[in-house]
Amino acid sequence: MIHTLTTIMRLSHAYSFNSFIYRLRKLPLIKKLIREDFYKKAWMKHLLTILTILKDIFMIFFGKLFYLGLFVYLPVYYIPGSIDESYMHLLFCMTLSGAIVNNELMTATKEKYYAHVLMHINARRLAISDLLLYIGGQFIGFIPAGLIFGRLCHVPVLYCLCLPIFAAAGKVVWSSCAFYIFNKKGLLLSERNWKFTFSLLGITAAAGYGLPFLHISIPSPAFAAAALFSLAAAPLALRFLWRTSESSYRRLYKKTLTKETVVFNVTENAAATQQKTYLTHLSDEKITSSKKGYAYFNDIFVKRHKKLLTTAAKKQTLILLVILAAAVAATLFNDNMKKSFRFVTESMLPYFVFIMYLINRGTTITQAMFFNCDHSMLTYNFYRKPKTLLEVFKTRLLTMIKINMIPALVIAAGLPLLLALSGGASQPLNYILLPVSILFMAAFFSLHYLVMYYLLQPYDIHMTSKSHTYSIVSMITYVFCYLFIKLQMSTLIFSLCVVGFTVIYTLLALFLIYKYAPKTFRLK
């Protein structure tokens, strides 16, 4: 067992090392400094192994702090009831959901593929060793996170320590249950089972965030009882997993550890799958347009792919309408909610930067543009002329803004409505500034993703993402948007900043597209 554990860790570190060097050699400027023989350098391997271990340790602790802080600690201040009760209730729901959804035993990874398929390591030893390694990280990571946020919410230390026990032991118990179901029914209850995952997340989210508004909360002793029960059941679950035949594990890995499920980016499979997805969304209607030139070209594309481009935006809009209706009802019948919504609408406008980032569909739209249009058109030189690129860019920008405005309009209309119902604005100008800010945020993210697409062009001809620069810029965008959650700024100042920055960024983007896109927007 120990040998298997060390093998898994060595494989993980080796993969991380090789992937890191590979990504560095793809970055501009840096790639000229790093030669192919870097893979062979022993000192580099040792250095990156140490850095990988430090990264893993950091992510174990930081990941849990981020998770509890964002999904549990921050929301409790907007949930009715005492802070400690709301915290424990929400913690129970989220921990139970995480124990079921994040099932490491059923999850396919590259390390498992290498170890079992290529190195022929015993499937049972591999599965149990990997599970224990994962559970150990969960247990260690949740101890400081649970103590920090628990004490901030005035939860007793003993209850705080129930979190790592419930999180670790609960995952062991559910893993055995899921494996039993797989052996008996052939049903794979993992994160890749989207219906199961989203149904469970929806139920637990509704219970965690919604029940307190109905004055229903799971008491802290129930959380402690669940932790103790999981702890008592965990040895039995491990015994079941160990005594299950090795052939059952091989059958599990045969189903999960394929080149497609471990995301090896096999070009033929990726292209075929993407093509099949897009073809199902094509319109069968006879398409016409009264526009001319590249405007006609873009209009035909949008009409032909309207299902693909707008369906998700319409679903987002429907969800937002339901949330808005619930918020309006809560405001009308709950005085505490009036205070909360007034605070949110007048003091937390920067928070909506992160929300608008999440609902923006720039990546999906640019993918559709590339696969169904640009991967063919980029073979022609006239399509990469500066004036042509700029004209198409401006036309597409308007299209993306229109699509992203569908859900944005609900938020833009909902915020001033909630503000009016919750007691009114401290400044009448806020009724205008709120929707203007939201709409400009939607426009900005539409522009940003399109600029990234033209200047970094992340896809190769097979529709697989290859640009590591694009991934880095995307990550930086995410981090900056998340940091806005903590920003404190008046509605007037923030709105002026949003509008001004969007206008400046638009002018700069038009210049960059004209100047550099002919060189960057090409087939790879």
Q: Which domain holds residue 196?
A: 62-256
pLDDT of residue 398: 93
Give me the pLDDT at residue 277, please. Answer: 52
Question: Is the predicted pLDDT of residue 362 greater than 80, yes or no?
Answer: yes
Q: Note the pLDDT of residue 33.
A: 67
Per-residue model confidence as pLDDT tens digits over 45-85: 677 677 777 877 888 888 899 889 888 988 888 787 788 98
What's residue 267's pLDDT?
Answer: 38
Distance CA 208, CA 300 (A): 45
Query: What pLDDT does 516 receive?
Result: 92
Say if residue 185 is in the same domain as residue 316. no
- In a domain, residue 25? The reply is no
* 123 found inside a domain: yes
Structural contact between residues 192 and 261, judged by C-beta atoms closer than 8 angstroms: yes
41 pLDDT tier (thresholds 50, 70, 90): low
- The pLDDT of residue 171 is above 80: yes
Whether 263 is covered by a domain: the verdict is no
* Mean pLDDT computed over 108-122: 81
Lowest pLDDT segment from 222-231, 339-348, 364-373: 339-348
Q: Do 245 and 297 have their domain in common?
A: no
pLDDT band at 27 (very low <50, low <70, confident <90, very high): low
Q: In the prediction, which pLDDT does 514 show?
A: 93
pLDDT > 90: percent of the chain: 30
Mean pLDDT to the nearest integer, 1-8: 72
Cα 302 to Cα 20, 66, 289: the distances in Å are 39, 39, 11
- The mean pLDDT value for 318-324 works out to 88
Q: Can you give the pLDDT at residue 297?
A: 83
Taking Cα atoms as reference points, which of 416, 414, 437 lies closest to residue 353?
Answer: 437
Q: What is the DSSP letter of 212?
A: G
Question: Which residues fall within 8 angstroms of residue 147, CB to CB, at 6 or more apart?
Answer: 157, 160, 161
Looking at the structure, do residues 331 and 210 belong to the same domain, yes or no? no
Mean pLDDT over 330-351 rounds to 76
- In whole angstroms, give the CA distance from residue 234 to residue 216: 29
Range of weakest confidence among 43-57, 163-177, 361-375: 43-57
Same domain, 330 and 448: yes
Position 268 scores a pLDDT of: 40
Do residues 108 and 188 both lie within one domain? yes
Q: Is residue 405 part of a domain?
A: yes
> What integer best gives the mean pLDDT of the chain?
83
Residue 37 has pLDDT above 70, yes or no: no
pLDDT of residue 418: 85
Measured on CA atoms in the order 330, 334, 335, 339, is the torsion positive or negative?
negative
pLDDT for res 273: 47
pLDDT at 264: 45
- As a whole number of angstroms, the longest Cα–Cα distance in the chain is 72
Show which of 233, 256, 279 is a domain's final residue.
256
Asked if residue 86 lies in contact with residue 76, where contact means CB atoms within 8 angstroms, the answer is yes
Check whether residue 245 and residue 307 sit in a common domain: no
Higher pLDDT, residue 467 or 416:
416
Shared-domain flag, residues 197 and 343: no
Q: Mean of the pLDDT values across residues 263-277?
A: 45
Evaluate whether residue 449 is within a structural domain: yes
**258 pLDDT exceeds 80?**
no
The whole-number pLDDT of residue 241 equals 93
Question: What is the per-residue pLDDT for 276?
Answer: 52
* Residue at 51 is within a domain: no
Give me the percent of the chain exceeding a pLDDT of 70. Answer: 86
The model's confidence at residue 199, banded by pLDDT at 50, 70 and 90, is confident
Both 363 and 463 in one domain: the answer is yes
* Domains held by the chain: number: 2
CA distance 76 to 71: 9
Same structural domain, 202 and 316: no
Whether the predicted pLDDT of 475 surpasses 90: no
Confidence of residue 272 (pLDDT cuts 50, 70, 90): very low
**Secondary structure of 82-146 in the HEC alphabet?**
CHHHHHHHHHHHHHHHHHHHCCHHHCCCHHHHHHHHHCCCCHHHHHHHHHHHHHHHHHHHHHHHH
Least confident of 67-76, 300-309, 373-382: 300-309
pLDDT value at 338 more than 80: no
Are 295 and 242 found together in one domain? no
CB atoms inside a 10 Å sphere around CB 358: 11
The reply to whether 295 and 394 lie within a common domain is: yes
Is residue 49 included in any domain, yes or no? no
Residue 135 lies in a domain: yes
CA-to-CA distance for 317 and 260, rounded, in angstroms? 32
pLDDT at 501 over 90: yes
pLDDT at 462 over 70: no
CB-based burial label for 34 (10 Å; 0-12, 13-18, 19+): middle
Same domain, 226 and 364: no
The model's pTM is 0.61
C-alpha to C-alpha distance for 111 and 108, rounded to whole angstroms: 9
Task: Please report which confidence band the pLDDT of residue 14 belongs to, taking 50, 70 and 90 as the band edges.
Answer: confident
Of 146-160, 176-190, 267-281, 408-422, give the lowest mean pLDDT range.
Answer: 267-281
**pLDDT greater than 80 at residue 208:** yes
